[in-house]
Amino acid sequence: MTIRNFTEETLTAEVLRRIKDTPNPRLKQVMTSLVKHLHGFVREVRPTQEEWFEGVKFLTETGHWCDDKRQEFILMSDTLGVSMLVDFINYGKEGQETESTVLGPFFVEGAPELPMGASIVKPGTVGEPCVASGSVRASDGKPIAGAVLDVWQAAGDGFYDVQKPQGTNLRARFRTAADGKYQFKCVLPASYPVPHDGPVGRMLVATGRHPMRPGHLHFMIEAPGHEKLVTHLFVRGDEYLDSDAVFGVKDSLIVDFAKNPEGVHAVHYDFVLKPARRAAQAA
């Protein structure tokens, strides 16, 4: 029977009825849950028409701030903790394998591949010199040769290369040696604010939050037969470790960036990759 005079409850039921024949089972599951939670949110908050339209304008403006160099929706997801929640669900923690964290909005595909030991720092870049080294190993302890490390970071002034006009800087790709080891030159990571001149920044201010992230190096590591690892190395002692704007800090990823005998900051970390899910299930 057709229903036209809906109530708060019957409207939700009718929306769900109209999507019950969605052919794709996963899409049906997602849309059903979305409708239930979205309608439940509206019934709980009971927004005015003006508040509802402000929400629409906020989402519209968030989209307008997105381009090939900035992803405001990822930034919103990060600062609301959604990115880390998805990370927990999909990667999690198993044994001694390295923990993951958020990708962040500043990853760029196609970074230049450099020889092991090279510097990712352009002349004139703000920041204290630093050397990163370590190894990439499988969960059984065996070194992984030829693993691809995408690395990127902000300069000492808190800005990534995509936020400046000078072109690619402080990002590169490396391949591990036969013994699984890696090494490259970078700058000492410094704490910095996430972009907060747009709608996400206004959201942070309105909710009484700061936009700061503790200093960190980004890594994306890939090797055949293993899960892709997206993670950071955080600077021990950074004042924002306990209030990271994107909730990305994990104790196992906090490391020392101490000065070596030559007076250069150095960080050493041995990454352990998880076996690929298919390979693990077949074993």
Q: Are 77 and 105 in contact (CB under 8 A)?
A: no
CA distance 237 to 206: 28
Q: Which domain holds residue 263?
A: 72-282
The pLDDT assigned to 1 comes to 53
The pLDDT assigned to 69 comes to 79
- For 94-148, how does the pLDDT look when each residue is reduced to its tens digit (9 = 90+)? 788 999 999 988 899 999 999 999 999 999 999 999 999 999 999 999 999 999 9
Taking 80 as the threshold, does the pLDDT of residue 205 lie above it? yes
- For 134-186, how does the pLDDT look when each residue is reduced to its tens digit (9 = 90+)? 999 999 999 999 999 999 999 999 999 999 888 899 999 999 999 999 999 99
- On whether both 40 and 175 belong to a single domain, the answer is no
Number of domains in the chain: 2
- On whether both 189 and 256 belong to a single domain, the answer is yes
pTM for the model stands at 0.89
Q: To the nearest whole number, what is the mean pLDDT of the chain?
A: 93
- On whether both 188 and 235 belong to a single domain, the answer is yes
Whether 196 is in a domain gets the answer: yes
Helix, coil or strand: residue 201 = helix
Burial call 243-258: b when 16+ CB within 10 Å, e when fewer:
ebbbbbbbeebbbebe
**Higher pLDDT residue, 71 or 56?**
56
- On whether both 17 and 122 belong to a single domain, the answer is no
